[in-house]
């Protein structure tokens, strides 16, 4: 057999799982659609809650890859399940065989242009959280569309999440803390600016998150307004007019901001849908993959030999994805070493 | 209930023991979708009438659910039925129908 | 010698009853017409062309059922055989009886029961072309014609799909009883005439004579008594039918005739329950063709509210609120109704009754002077949720050098149609007056809107002295007058007809002509008058979002069946509704045109200035 395991997807879940398994002596091939590894995290600047650099995490994980065979710039066209092994058909690397598969196809970000009333793609000063991260790492830094330092920045929560009107009823979990983080980053960059976060609820679910929120309010003076953006418009100078209701005072609220950041939610990646179709993986109504048991067998797909790791199962933070990928790797290794009896 | 010798003005608080639930019950029987409202305020934000006046639809329908119907009859008349509130609602509340049913409730219940 | 037998009594009494009833209804419908309509009626009846038109429509629709033939030939044939067949049986029968009876006094029952009173001897071979033989042939042929329809009608209850109907009307008990009577009439006639012909050895045609001879031979009972039994049955069944008819759906027969006359005289439905509307409710034959047209039915599985049931309830003077308020007012049922009933109008009349006691308060709107311009552009409420549309329009207006004013750039009050769809016409008047005043103050010559809902109400209710165009018409004019040039886009697009623009505004070709200049338009199954509603309808109240989604998805799958690259529509509400579910990009006409102006492809639109100061939290 060519490989013990083929890992499909080279984001942090795929890299972690591949590194864990090849570090334990298995023959692993990692297939990634893009030309470089690292997925979305490699395009991020800093990670919550401590705002450490994302590249450090990527470097750490990649260092562990060892003997893993990496095939990048390669898409999967089909998968054949021979019951005892799998053949993965690719577009640029021919067909590859393995005894087991680990699917780590990850997520995509919600396409903000769908929420037309928020002006993404129409007004120049509306950007997504991902674009903001790119700006943070760029040489020019964070500036408005005509190159000025923004005096007032708005951060909009729940874009594409918790929204029947775009077909995503679920909460994307990680955007709230991302918004708070980015608000702090803005204030750190431009201490004289005003930063407003427009939220429905603040989901500070993990350790240090609530403290981050506290810090944002107390140390950095970020303003938080409980109200969901209904629509925005544009002033002559390109600044964005935000229209919400300040629900806590019960009055409609309108303000101009120089830059508007949309915290876009997490949606299943197209690759997830395609691979699920090839293998017959079960998806939920929200489009993410269902594991066999969300508590006790969260890395099993229900198909013997096919294991699941990462955000393809639903929105997740970086630390939980790394833990999950290691768990998936261990489950796969246990399956292989017990002659495919355990963890089917 | 202990008698402290004074009454708190009924207007200033929501009293769930003494609220007038008839209107919300009437509406619920026709359209239960208001149950899933999360109070995000998008409806008020986008409201056409809200552009010109104090009319706050989120506050109005939340109040009714708490039994506070004091300003209902006066405020609900300001709605133009344009439908934007229903279009932006993230939970899919059938708000335009709720308002129409509220109008009917006012007609029937007084 | 007067021909009479006791058995003709049930028929005769029934006939007197139904004629009296029809007269009573006609009298009431005509008497309760408003004065202006009475004048139209009497003028129309004195105009030969209007009378001819009415007669022509009566023949084509009430007898031949041409519209039903177009829907499905078998369905058309079935209805035609009953209507035309029975009509001809009566007419030819009357002719035949006059020849035989020989006097001018003709009792009404005589032609119906002619074969009981007159027994001809068997026609000899060489007499085949004689008058009696001719009549016998024709009458038998007509009877067979009606019976063929009857057989089809029975089959239709079981196999409606053969007749192009997925669903048939669920009739109530009374209608089913009357239906049974109707279905028995012609078999009874067949048996009565056949047995009599068989017993007397003559007097029947190719059908009745042969059948009669056969029956007489195999029947164990004396033929004359059996025949007499069936003559009684025939009369009784006819009498019962007549007596039950006024309360049944078959009142549509006399009603439809008067309705056609009213229509050709120019009488229109009113905004309140009037004589014309009452007449329309009686004219519904409950054929059920509207059931298949209703998307709430075939896409969302909601089945009790369709036009046929609504009209039936309206006739019975009791319409449940749910039925009144569960309708998209999309016009598809109205479009396909073979009688031409204005179902949407009746639905809105009922909604006005529901809302009549309710009060609105729009005193908060205050006047402002909007400025002057040649052309005033009104985007409509919905456009604020699809900002790409007004921005594209402004880009085009600027490029074409038009002197325009964007009336509701900073938001404005609603055009008023959504209020009217809720039945609140009286309440909407204040909004109309305000908007009219605003438009008048601009001194513009042309009002352009990018929303079909606004377009419909501007045209039908506003009574403005200025020209009104939907943006598809306006943009087409700009192109035709050379104000803007367009570059082809080479994309495969499908165009969706918005309900209020197509059926509601009669604009089908302008958008297509416009789009045809820049792209290939791939058609879809339901277009023009048959187009599907997107499901976003502001006319639909009592239906949940998930059911609306079913309608949207169903419409999308039909629109996208030929795999276009792009879905183009001309209504911001349609765009918003489709965007939620469409796997293919959705664009408005205006966006496409803006994109097709040379140099614009992919260009960012310049920001549109806002006149208000940015206000912060304090209101």
pLDDT at A125: 96
* pLDDT single digits (tens) A247-305: 988 888 889 999 999 999 999 999 999 999 999 999 999 999 999 999 999 999 999 99
**φ, ψ of residue C300 in degrees (nearest 5):** -115, -5
Nearest to B10 by CA among B80, B71, B68: B68
Of residues C321, C360, C385, nearest to B77 (C-beta): C360
C392 against C602, higher pLDDT? C392
* Separation of alpha carbons A66 and C90, rounded Å: 98
Instruction: Report, as an integer, the average pLDDT of C335-352.
Output: 94
Structure-token pair, residue C72: 């499905």
Burial A258-274 (b: 16+ CB within 10 A, else e): bbbbbbbbbbbbebbbb
Per-residue pLDDT of C53-102, as tens digits, reads: 999 999 999 999 999 999 899 999 999 999 999 999 999 988 888 877 66
Residue A178 at interface with chain B, using a CB cutoff of 8 Å:
no
Look at residue C544 in the predicted model and tell me its pLDDT.
92
Q: How confident is the model at residue B9 (pLDDT cuts 50, 70, 90)?
A: low
Minimal Cβ distance to C538: which of B46, B77, B83: B83
- Mean pLDDT value of segment A158-166: 95
Q: How far is CA A329 from CA A296, C91, C318, in A?
A: 15, 90, 68
**Cross-chain Cβ contact C607/A119 below 8 Å:** no
CA distances from A207 to A50, A177, A185, A319 (A): 11, 11, 19, 11
Q: Does pLDDT of C618 surpass 80?
A: no
In whole angstroms, what is the distance from residue C164 CA to residue A256 CA? 59
pLDDT of residue C412: 85
* pLDDT recorded at residue A204: 95
User: What is the structure's pLDDT at C612?
Assistant: 31
Give the rounded percent of residues in chain C with a pLDDT score beyond 70: 94
Residue C137: what pLDDT? 87
3-state helix, strand, coil in chain C (%, to 5): 60, 5, 35
pLDDT in tens, C231-277: 999 999 999 999 999 999 999 999 999 999 999 999 999 999 999 99
Interface size between A and B, measured as CB pairs under 8 A: 65
Stretch among A163-167, A172-176, A340-344, C605-609 having the lowest mean pLDDT = C605-609
CB atoms within 10 A of CB C262: 24
Chains that touch A (3 or more CB pairs under 8 A): B, C
For residue C123, pLDDT over 80 is answered with no
* CA proximity to C340, closest of C274, C283, C261: C283
Residues C266/C44, Cβ–Cβ less than 8 Å? yes
Classify burial at C213, counting beta carbons within 10 Å of its beta carbon; exposed 0-12, middle 13-18, buried 19 or more: middle
CB contact under 8 A, C545 and B51: no
Per DSSP, A120 falls in state: B
Mean pLDDT, range C427-444, rounded to an integer: 93
**Residue C491 pLDDT class (50, 70, 90 cuts):** confident
Residue C199 in this model has a pLDDT that exceeds 90: no
Do residues C614 and A242 touch, judged by C-beta distance below 8 A?
Answer: no
List chain C residues with CB under 8 Å of A252.
619
- Top pLDDT among B52 and C128 is at B52
Q: Where are the beta strands (DSSP E) in C258-381?
A: 375-378
Mean pLDDT computed over A177-182: 97
Q: What percentage of chain A exceeds 70 in pLDDT? A: 99
Neighbours of C369 (CB within 10 A): 8
State the count of interchain CB pairs (< 8 A) between B and C.
Answer: 82
Give the pLDDT confidence of B53-83 residue by residue, as tens digits: 989 999 999 999 888 898 999 999 999 999 9
Q: Name the region of C515 (left: φ>0; alpha: ψ -120 to 50; beta: rest).
A: alpha
- Whether residues B80 and C418 touch (CB distance < 8 A) is answered with yes
Pairing state between β A28-31 and A3-8:
parallel
Q: Residues with Cβ < 8 Å from C163, sequence gap 6 or more?
A: C72, C74, C75, C78, C152, C156
Which candidate from B44, B84, B90 shows the least CB-CB separation from A245? B44
What are residue C59's DSSP bridge partners? none
* Domain ranges for chain A: 4-106+269-342, 112-266
Domain covering A112-266 assigned CATH 3.40.50.2300 in the classification: no
**DSSP label at residue A305:** T
Cβ atoms of C400 and C472 closer than 8 Å: no
pLDDT of residue A3: 81
* Cα dihedral C135, C141, C147, C153 sign: negative
**DSSP per-residue codes, A315-343:** ---HHHHHHHHHHHHHHHHHHHHTTT-S-
| B100:C381 CB<8 A | no
- How close does chain A come to C610, measured CA to CA in Å? 5
Cβ within 8 Å of residue A88, ≥6 positions away: A6, A8, A31, A76, A78, A79, A95, A96, A97, A98, A101
Q: Please report the pLDDT score of residue C617 as a whole number.
A: 26
Q: What is the pLDDT of residues A195-252, one digit of tens each?
A: 999 999 999 999 999 999 999 988 999 999 999 999 999 999 999 999 999 898 888 8
Q: Of B50, B59, B81, B87, which to mutate for an interface test with C (greatest number of C Cβ within 10 Å)? A: B81
Note if the pTM is more than 0.90: no
Subunits with at least 3 CB pairs below 8 A relative to chain B? A, C
Average pLDDT estimate for A70-80: 96
Model confidence over A11-30: pLDDT tens digits? 999 999 999 999 999 999 99
Q: Copy the structure tokens of residue C483.
A: 């104000």
- C→B contacts (Cβ < 8 Å), by residue, are 321, 325, 354-355, 357-362, 364-366, 381-382, 384-385, 411, 413-414, 416, 418-419, 421-422, 424, 431, 538, 541-546, 573, 576
Q: What are phi and psi of C446, to 5 degrees?
A: -140, 135
Residue C47: CB atoms within 10 Å: 14
Interface probe with B: pick from C364, C454, C546, most Cβ of B within 10 Å: C364
pLDDT tens string C159-175: 999 998 998 898 889 99
Task: Look at residue C103 in the predicted model and tell me its pLDDT.
Answer: 64
The answer, yes or no, to whether residue A38 has pLDDT greater than 90, is: yes
In C218-304, the DSSP E strands lie at: none
3-state SS record for C14-55: HHHHHHHHHHHHHHHHHHCCCHHHHHHHHHHHCCHHHHHHHH
Sign of the torsion angle spanned by Cα atoms C369, C371, C374, C378: negative
- Residue C618: Cβ-neighbour burial (10 angstroms; 0-12, 13-18, 19+): exposed
User: Could you tell me if A252 lies within 8 Å of chain B, comparing CB atoms?
Assistant: yes
- Comparing B3 with C607, which gets the higher pLDDT? B3
* Token output for C357: 């006691």
Terminal alpha carbon distance of chain C: 97
Question: Do the domains at A4-106+269-342 and A112-266 have one common CATH topology?
Answer: yes
C-alpha C19/C-alpha B28 separation (Å) is 50
Tell me which DSSP letter residue B43 carries: H
Residue C531's CB is within 10 A of a number of other CB atoms, namely: 26
* Predicted pLDDT of residue C205: 84
Separation of alpha carbons C466 and B105, rounded Å:
41
Q: Which residue of A has its CA nearest to C385?
A: A117
**What are C470's strand-pairing partners?**
C449
DSSP at A313 = G
CA-based nearest residue in chain B for residue C419: B81
Contact at CB, A234 and C580, closer than 8 angstroms: no
Taking alpha carbons only, the member of A174, A205, B55 closest to residue C619 is B55
DSSP labels for A271-283? HHHHHHHHHT--B
Q: Which of residues 306-325 of A touch B (CB under 8 A)?
A: none
H or E element in which residue C588 lies: strand C586-588
What's the confidence (pLDDT) of residue A14? Answer: 97
Which residue shows structure tokens 């925005």?
A: A232
C-alpha Rg value of chain B to the nearest Å: 15
CA-nearest of C455, C489, C487 to C473 is C455
CB–CB of C411 and B80 under 8 A?
no
List CB contacts (< 8 A) between C431 and chain B.
Answer: 80
Amino acid C619: pLDDT: 29
With contacts defined as CB-CB under 8 Å, which chain B residues touch A158? 90
Q: Is C384 on the interface with A (CB under 8 A)?
A: yes
Q: Tens digit of pLDDT for each residue in C527-546?
A: 999 999 999 999 999 999 99
Cα-flanking dihedrals φ and ψ of residue C293, to 5°? -80, -20
- List strands edge to edge, sheet with C520-521: C520-521, C492-496, C566-569, C586-588
d(CA A132, CA C573): 32
Rounded Cα distance, C11 and C14, in Å? 5
The C-alpha of A248 sits at a distance from chain B's nearest C-alpha, in angstroms, of: 10
Q: Tell me which residue of B105, B82, B87, B88 sits closest to B29, measured CA to CA.
A: B105
- CA-based torsion, C92, C96, C97, C98: positive or negative: positive
Strands A69-71 and A95-103: unpaired
**How far from A314 is each of A101, A133, A185, A304, B42, CA to CA, in Å?**
19, 22, 27, 21, 26
Report the gap between the CA of B65 and the closest CA in chain A (Å). Answer: 16
Candidate from A330-334, C201-205, C283-287, C412-416 with smallest mean pLDDT? C201-205
CB contact under 8 A, A229 and B46: no
Interatomic CA distance for residues A343 and A316, integer angstroms: 23
- What share of chain A in percent tops pLDDT 90? 91
Q: How far is B6 from chain C (nearest CA, A)?
A: 35
Q: Tell me what pLDDT residue B1 has.
A: 54
Other C-beta atoms closer than 10 Å to the C-beta of A217 total: 15
Interface of B with A (CB under 8 A): 38-47, 50, 56, 58-59, 84, 87-92
Confidence of residue C614 (pLDDT cuts 50, 70, 90): very low
pLDDT in tens, C354-363: 998 888 889 8
Q: What is the CATH number of domain A4-106+269-342?
A: 3.50.50.60
Q: What pLDDT shows up at residue A179?
A: 97
- Residue A282 corresponds to which tokens in the numbers above? 């079960």
What's residue C609's pLDDT? 36
- The sign one gets for the Cα dihedral A147, A152, A157, A159 is negative
Residue A36, pLDDT score = 95
**Centroid of chain to Cα B16:** 15
* Vertex B40 angle, CA A255 and B83, to 5°: 85
C-alpha C558 chain-centroid distance: 22
Distance of alpha carbon C540 from alpha carbon A209, whole angstroms: 44
Assess C581–A contact: CB distance below 8 Å, yes or no: yes
> For chain C, what is the mean pLDDT?
90
C216-236: pLDDT as tens digits: 888 888 888 888 999 999 999
- A contacts of B89 (beta carbons < 8 Å): 164-165
Residue C426 CA from chain centroid, whole number: 26
- Mean pLDDT in residue range C338-353: 94
The model's confidence at residue C112, banded by pLDDT at 50, 70 and 90, is confident
Task: Taking residues A34-59, report their average pLDDT.
Answer: 96
pLDDT value at position C88?
Answer: 94
C579–A116 C-beta distance less than 8 A: yes
């Amino acid at each position: 057999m060519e490989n013990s395991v083929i890992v499909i997807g080279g984001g942090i879940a795929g890299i972690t799982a591949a590194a864990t398994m090849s570090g334990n002596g298995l023959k692993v091939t990692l297939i990634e659609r893009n030309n470089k590894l690292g997925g979305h995290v490699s395009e991020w600047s800093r990670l919550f809650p401590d705002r450490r650099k994302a590249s450090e995490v990527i470097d750490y994980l990649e260092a562990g890859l060892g003997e893993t065979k990496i095939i990048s710039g390669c898409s999967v066209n089909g998968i054949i399940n021979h019951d005892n092994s799998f053949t993965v058909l690719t577009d640029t690397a021919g067909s590859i065989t393995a005894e087991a598969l680990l699917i780590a196809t990850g997520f995509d970000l919600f396409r903000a242009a769908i929420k037309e009333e928020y002006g993404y793609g129409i007004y120049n000063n509306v950007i997504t959280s991902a674009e903001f991260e790119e700006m943070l790492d760029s040489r020019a830094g964070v500036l408005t569309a005509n190159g000025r330092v923004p005096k007032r920045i708005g951060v909009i929560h729940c874009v594409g999440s918790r929204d029947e009107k775009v077909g995503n009823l679920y909460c994307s979990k990680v955007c709230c803390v991302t918004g708070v983080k980015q608000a702090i980053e803005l204030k750190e960059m431009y201490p004289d600016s005003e930063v407003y976060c427009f939220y429905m609820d603040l989901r500070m679910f993990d350790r240090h998150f609530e403290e981050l929120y506290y810090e944002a309010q107390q140390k950095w003076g970020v303003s938080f307004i409980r109200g969901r953006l209904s629509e925005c418009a544009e002033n002559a100078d390109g600044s964005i007019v935000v229209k919400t209701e300040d629900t806590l005072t019960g009055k409609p609220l309108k303000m101009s901001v120089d830059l508007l950041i949309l915290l876009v939610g997490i949606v299943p990646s197209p690759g997830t849908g395609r691979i699920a179709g090839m293998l017959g993986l079960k998806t939920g109504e929200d489009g993410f993959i269902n594991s066999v048991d969300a508590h006790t067998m969260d890395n099993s797909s229900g198909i013997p030999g096919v294991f699941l790791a990462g955000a393809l199962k639903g929105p997740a933070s970086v630390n939980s994805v790394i833990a999950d990928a290691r768990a998936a790797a261990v489950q796969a290794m246990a399956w292989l070493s017990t002659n495919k009896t355990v963890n089917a | 209930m202990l008698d402290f010798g004074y009454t708190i003005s009924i207007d200033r608080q929501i009293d769930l023991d003494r609220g007038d639930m008839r209107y919300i019950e009437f509406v619920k029987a026709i359209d239960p979708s208001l149950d899933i409202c999360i109070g995000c305020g998008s409806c008020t934000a986008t409201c056409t009438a809200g552009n010109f006046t104090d009319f706050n639809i989120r506050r109005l329908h939340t109040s009714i659910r708490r039994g506070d119907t004091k300003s209902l009859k006066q405020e609900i008349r300001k709605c133009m039925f344009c439908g934007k509130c229903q279009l932006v609602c993230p939970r899919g509340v059938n708000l335009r129908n709720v308002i129409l049913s509220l109008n009917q409730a006012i007609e029937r219940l007084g | 010698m007067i021909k009479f037998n006791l058995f003709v009594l049930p028929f005769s009494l029934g006939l007197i009853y139904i004629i009296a009833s029809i007269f009573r209804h006609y009298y009431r419908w005509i008497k309760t017409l408003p004065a202006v309509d009475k004048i139209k009626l009497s003028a129309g009846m004195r105009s030969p062309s209007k009378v001819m038109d009415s007669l022509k429509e009566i023949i084509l629709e009430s007898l031949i059922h041409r519209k039903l033939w177009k829907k499905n030939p078998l369905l058309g044939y079935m209805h035609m055989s009953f209507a035309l067949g029975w009509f001809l049986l009566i007419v030819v029968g009357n002719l035949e009886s006059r020849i035989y009876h020989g006097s001018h006094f003709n009792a009404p029952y005589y032609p119906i029961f002619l074969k009981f009173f007159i027994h001809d001897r068997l026609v000899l071979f060489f007499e085949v072309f004689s008058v009696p033989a001719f009549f016998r042939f024709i009458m038998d042929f007509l009877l067979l014609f009606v019976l063929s329809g009857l057989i089809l009608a029975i089959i239709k209850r079981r196999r409606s799909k053969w007749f192009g109907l997925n669903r048939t009307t669920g009739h109530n008990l009374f209608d089913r009883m009357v239906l049974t009577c109707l279905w028995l009439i012609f078999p009874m006639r067949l048996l009565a005439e056949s047995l009599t012909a068989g017993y007397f050895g003559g007097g029947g045609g190719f059908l009745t004579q042969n059948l009669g001879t056969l029956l007489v031979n195999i029947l164990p009972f004396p033929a004359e008594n059996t025949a007499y039994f069936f003559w009684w049955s025939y009369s009784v069944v006819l009498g019962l039918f007549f007596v039950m008819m006024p309360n049944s759906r078959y009142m549509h027969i006399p009603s439809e005739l008067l309705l056609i006359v009213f229509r050709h005289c120019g009488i229109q439905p009113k905004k309140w329950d009037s004589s014309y509307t009452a007449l329309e409710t009686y004219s519904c034959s409950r054929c059920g063709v509207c059931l298949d047209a209703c998307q709430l039915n075939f896409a969302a599985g909601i089945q009790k509210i369709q036009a046929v049931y609504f009209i039936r309830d309206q006739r019975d003077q009791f319409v449940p609120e749910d039925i009144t308020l569960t309708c998209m007012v999309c016009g598809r049922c109205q479009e396909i109704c073979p009688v031409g009933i204005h179902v949407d109008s009746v639905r809105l009349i009922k909604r006005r009754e529901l809302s009549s006691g309710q009060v609105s308060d729009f005193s908060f709107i205050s006047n402002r002077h909007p400025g002057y311009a040649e052309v005033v552009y009104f985007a409509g409420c919905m456009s604020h949720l699809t900002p790409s549309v007004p921005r594209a329009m402004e880009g085009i207006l600027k490029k074409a050098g038009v002197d325009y004013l964007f009336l509701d750039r900073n938001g404005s009050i609603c055009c008023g149609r959504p209020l009217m769809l809720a039945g609140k016409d009286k309440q909407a008047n204040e909004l109309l007056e305000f908007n009219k005043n605003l438009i008048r103050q601009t001194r513009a010559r042309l009002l352009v809107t990018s929303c079909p809902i606004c377009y419909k109400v501007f045209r039908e209710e506003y009574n403005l002295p200025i020209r009104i165009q939907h943006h598809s018409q306006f943009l087409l004019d700009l192109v035709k007058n050379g104000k803007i040039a367009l570059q082809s886009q080479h994309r495969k697009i499908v165009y969706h007809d918005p309900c209020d623009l197509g059926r509601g505004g009669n604009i089908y070709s302008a958008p297509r002509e416009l789009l045809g200049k820049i792209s290939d338009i791939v058609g879809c199954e339901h277009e023009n008058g048959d187009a599907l509603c997107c499901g976003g309808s502001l006319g639909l109240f009592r239906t949940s979002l998930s059911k609306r989604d079913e309608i949207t998805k169903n419409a999308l799958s039909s629109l996208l069946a030929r795999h276009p690259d792009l879905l183009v529509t001309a209504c911001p509400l349609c765009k918003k509704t489709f965007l939620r579910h469409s796997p293919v990009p959705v664009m408005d006409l205006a966006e496409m045109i803006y994109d097709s102006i040379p140099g614009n492809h992919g260009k960012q639109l310049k920001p549109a200035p806002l006149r208000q100061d940015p206000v912060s939290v304090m209101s």
